[in-house]
Structure 1
């Protein structure tokens, strides 16, 4: 397929590379052009409009503001050349996802949401879990692309914003796991037990899953750089989850705790470290940082 790819951050680079390996023609655009030129096998283009055409256009941008600036304010939906499908894979707010679905409908551009679970190394391996929502026939059309980037596509109905709600729910649970490990490790250390030993036990028994094992290993080793997923992006996702919960009257009291602790971490200079650095908040508060 002829694909345009917009956004070559840590995740986008690996995803675009997976599409290239699968034999797709991939035209790439990034606000920092060096990233586009460095991707072997890709076809760098001069503007976002040059990427937003072909069989499909994929966006993988950092947040609501970036996606809105490029797609909506950048006038791509009014361009005479349009893609056969816009596949939005960014982690964005539920509200913006619903707005995008509506404005794409008015513009006559097919649109589905397909945010992903996985870190940059997983994206590079084409092994993401992809959460897709939108018209079933459109997801079927995008299947060759989704299959190239992920091991499984999980479908969540015909309203695109449902995929974004699932993504935010998942990231809320992920951040909760890190907070729990940080508090548990600080508690154990106050009783003379090495936090690393506790996490080694628990992440190989009761909590032997990728999130606990991966982030637990980082916490145990006090290793937060280079970041796989920046703490400040985790903070953004928790804020988006709280906003989406407020919109439908769902209390999320622990999400409020996470938001405040993430703000604490950023205030202490950890915003650009890996999300696992959230565990440092509990350690610091206990006097054992």
Structure 2
């Protein structure tokens, strides 16, 4: 990983999937860089104790009602990793304890920067990471609120580059991004499931079918990354004229996959807008 700019002390409120992924990124050693001071809070004492056993400065709100206020004291960045329905209440609770210039970043779906700004006076950034962030290969969309400066957005970029690739975009596109990079891993996993079933239908044992399907997808994506070629060009290289792959691709294209994927993305976007509206 390339050297990163120094980050200020960070508080992570809630260490579920995304909060935990960010914490893992912050804890990865970087040659020549000092560790970033991090304080985290969890809901349960058991989770906090497990983190403390790994050397993380953690407290649980289950046994310490002031845990969140403790975490944000002196923090330059506060990451809200709680559920969407909790964002406003948690921000209202934190507002008196936040440093005036602390950047607040939410990774909750459907909660706008305007909603966050109404709950606390700080600059805010809305971020939408995806689950591959857990292995450092995520895609995160970031959108700045009205009080956030270019420096704040750069700070958010630096943070999320610890867990993958960052895309800056206007907030009007953040829900659309969630239908592609956010929901996208589920689409890939579904394709692997169906590919595995097809292999089993041809007589392969389940473990062999899974191995072939999973490793084919993993290998293909690594080839795509390493080659720098367009997916269309790589597909052509595999598809010999009048060969078996050409026949199979024709069946898939005959199912109008372009329309199917567009409909899937549109359905996800419609639901994202419903969530943003509170329904």
Flag whether TM exceeds 0.5 (same fold): yes
The residue number in structure 2 matching 1:44 is: 58
Please say if 1:133 is aligned against 2:143: yes
Describe the shift of the 1:171–1:101 C-alpha distance in structure 2 as closer, same or farther (beyond 3 A).
same
User: What are structure 1's unaligned runs of at least 5 residues?
Assistant: 211-237, 249-289
Describe the shift of the 1:52–1:146 C-alpha distance in structure 2 as closer, same or farther (beyond 3 A).
same
Once the two structures are superposed, the pairs formed by residues 69-88 of structure 1 within 5 Å of their partners are 69-72=89-92, 75-77=93-95, 79=97, 81-82=99-100, 84-88=102-106
The residue number in structure 2 matching 1:116 is: 129
1:87·1:112 contact (CA, 8 Å) conserved in 2? yes
Per-residue deviation, residues 157-181 of structure 1 (Å, max 9, x unmatched): 3x2x633541343233322233333
Describe the shift of the 1:18–1:5 C-alpha distance in structure 2 as closer, same or farther (beyond 3 A).
same
Please say if 1:30 is aligned against 2:42: yes
Of 84, 87, 91, the residue aligned with 1:64 is 84
The residue number in structure 2 matching 1:16 is: 23
Superposition deviation, residue 144 in structure 1: 4.0
TM-score normalised per structure 1: 0.56
Partner-residue secondary structure (3-state), 2:38? strand
Query: What's the Cα RMSD here?
Result: 3.7
1:131·1:155 contact (CA, 8 Å) conserved in 2? yes
Of 191, 203, 220, the residue aligned with 1:192 is 203
CA distance in 2 between counterparts of 1:200 and 1:42 reads: 36
2:141·2:174 contact (CA, 8 Å) conserved in 1? yes
TM-score normalised per structure 2: 0.58
Partner-residue secondary structure (3-state), 2:152? helix
The residue number in structure 2 matching 1:178 is: 189
Describe the shift of the 1:205–1:77 C-alpha distance in structure 2 as closer, same or farther (beyond 3 A).
same
Equivalent pairs counted in the alignment come to 207
User: What are structure 2's unaligned runs of at least 5 residues?
Assistant: 1-7, 60-65, 223-265
Please say if 1:163 is aligned against 2:174: yes
1:3·1:25 contact (CA, 8 Å) conserved in 2? yes
The residue number in structure 1 matching 2:245 is: none
Partner-residue secondary structure (3-state), 1:77? helix
The residue number in structure 2 matching 1:243 is: 271
CA distance in 2 between counterparts of 1:113 and 1:17 reads: 20
Describe the shift of the 1:77–1:209 C-alpha distance in structure 2 as closer, same or farther (beyond 3 A).
same
Partner-residue secondary structure (3-state), 2:35? coil
**Structure having the higher Rg:** 2
CA distance in 2 between counterparts of 1:246 and 1:121 reads: 27
